[in-house]
Structure formats: C-alpha cells, structure tokens
Amino acid sequence: MTTRRNFNAFAAVASIAILGVGKVLAAADHLVRTDAEWRKLLTPAQYKVLRQAGTEVPFASPLLNEHRDGVFGCAGCELPLFSSKTKFDSGTGWPSFWAPLDDAVQTATDNSLGIERTAVSCLRCDGHLGHVFDDGPKPTGLRYCMNGVAMKFTAAAA
C-alpha cells in the first residue's frame, strides 16, 4: 500500500538520484583543450591570463566601465560567470563583483606571490579569472577581482 510517507521517501530518493546524475553530467561538460588549441582560440593577452594565471594591467579593461545590464562570461568557453547586478566599483582597476553566478567558478589557494590568496577560475574550462578577497560590500563581503581580458560581456535583451 502506498502511503504519503512512502511516497515522500521515494520522492526524496529519486531527487537524490537525479541530482547525482546532474553532477555527473556537469562533470562531462568540463572543457579540455590542448595548449595549441587554446593558443589558436585566445588572444595573447587572454592566453596569458586564462592559461598562465597572468594579470592584466589595472584600469586597462573596457569591462571596468561596463555598466549595462547583462552577464560577464568566460572568454575561453563562454560560461556565464557574473551578473552585472553584482558588479561594483572597487577602485582597484579591475572589474569587481560581490558574488558569482551559481556553478560558475571554483577557487584554490594561490601562494605565487609569497602570500596566501584565493585564485578564482572558470568551473568549465579552468581558465584563471582573478582572485577573491574578503573586503567587498554587503551582502557577501567578498570582492571577486577579475581580469577583464578573461571575460566577455553580453548585454541583456532590451
């Protein structure tokens, strides 16, 4: 006999199974390219930042002054990364955001300058985007300080 309790238990198990499959499918969407393919696809400046964890010159990116509604996506794979609604002027010279979109970025410890920082990269292609710091505005208190050359902007439909 099917009871509400049995049905709810079945629904919970089914949801877990579906979510598990979703995670496997998301992993299958991971983008892998050879170094030669990346060099063909990206400009030299994009390659230096996205594939070699470089940093662009501050105040050089046109995206710093991009204030239209839209989405900032990865220049390497076009995965949407940040909504313009979370962008703010940090005064640092790099486009800054207080939160990424869901399932967009990953972080890792970066000790390359002899100090511990948190590097941010694209979840799909592992392209280096910048760093995240804990000196941002509310509601998160975070500052995702991104290299503009590592992103492309897509304006919202009018």
Query: Active site includes 77?
Result: no
Q: Which residue of the set 74, 122, 125, 145 is catalytic?
A: 145
| Three-state DSSP state, 139 | coil
DSSP string, 56-111: PPTT--GGGG--SSEEEEETTT--EEEEGGGEE--SSSS-EES-PPTTSEEEEEE-
- For 74-86, b where at least 16 C-beta lie within 10 A, e where not — what string? bbbbbbbbbbbeb
Half-sphere exposure of 130 (CA within 13 A, CB side): 25
| Angle CA 81–112–135, to nearest 5 | 55
Positions annotated as catalytic residues are 145
